[in-house]
Structure 1
């Protein structure tokens, strides 16, 4: 069988590099670039593949020199996206926001009170430290 673009075949991983994996299909070797391994970001290809793994690949292209570009992620069936929009319960969202320790004014009042208490504690601490030291003006 001759390879042609668009074909989905099963192959065997024969070598792994930092930039992709070489896969043998129908007696020929092609490259699955690291960006074509998974729909997720692949930092280390060895987390996804190892030599002698059987993988399903799609032939992306074959150039004039005979180099074969393969893809694992395109060989997998695409998950259908729903044509319906996602429904959001806006009333539920409003109650979530309103249950965050009261309304805006209450939260501001609480923040100002906490800030004032912390400032007073800091001021007392600073004053108590400075009382222990006396400058010698001689």
Structure 2
């Protein structure tokens, strides 16, 4: 059986890394399932979802000229119609770890908090750069 783009095949997980899982396909070929292609939801640690030795159904996404095979588990899974995939875990705001404090209040309150935070960061930066210059202050 030849492996073609768009086909679904069964494979066995032979290795797991922090960026994905290697899957042995029929014909002794190996492909990679990137961590973003493991599940519909956010996967922080791939080892929580997959283990070495698991048999999985994968969809062939791409076959590169050098023989590398890109696979997807989430695209091989049958989904109920109308169900949207979740991209980030619940309770995590978009934009990383930015705090959502100060979302309420007037513009002046927000601006004063911003200016205060900005001044604190600038003073910390100045202290760090002054210490790298030999500890002498620019003021005399």
- TM-score bracket, normalised by the shorter chain, equals 0.5 to 0.7
| Residue in 1 that maps onto 2:21 | 21
For residues 60 and 79 of structure 2, the distance between their equivalents in structure 1, rounded to whole angstroms, comes to: 16
| Residue in 2 that maps onto 1:10 | 10
| 1:80 corresponds to 2:100 | no
**What secondary structure is seen at the aligned counterpart in 1 of 2:59?**
strand
**What secondary structure is seen at the aligned counterpart in 2 of 1:80?**
coil
Q: TM-score, normalising length from structure 1? A: 0.58
For residues 48 and 16 of structure 1, the distance between their equivalents in structure 2, rounded to whole angstroms, comes to: 11
**What secondary structure is seen at the aligned counterpart in 1 of 2:12?**
strand
For residues 52 and 78 of structure 1, the distance between their equivalents in structure 2, rounded to whole angstroms, comes to: 25
RMSD: 1.1
**Aligned length in residues:** 82
Please identify runs of 4+ aligned residues in structure 1 that moved more than 4 A.
none
- Counting only pairs closer than 5 Å after superposition, residues 1-138 of structure 1 correspond to structure 2 as 1-26=1-26, 27-81=28-82
Shift of 1:57: 0.3
Q: TM-score, normalising length from structure 2? A: 0.57
For residues 23 and 81 of structure 1, the distance between their equivalents in structure 2, rounded to whole angstroms, comes to: 30
**What secondary structure is seen at the aligned counterpart in 1 of 2:56?**
strand
Shift of 1:75: 0.2
User: 5+ unaligned residues in a row in structure 2: which ranges?
Assistant: 84-140
Q: Deviations 1:95-126 (Å, cap 9, x if unpaired)?
A: xxxxxxxxxxxxxxxxxxxxxxxxxxxxxxxx
For residues 68 and 79 of structure 2, the distance between their equivalents in structure 1, rounded to whole angstroms, comes to: 26
**What secondary structure is seen at the aligned counterpart in 2 of 1:30?**
strand
User: 5+ unaligned residues in a row in structure 1: which ranges?
Assistant: 83-138
Shift of 1:78: 2.4
For residues 23 and 64 of structure 1, the distance between their equivalents in structure 2, rounded to whole angstroms, comes to: 19
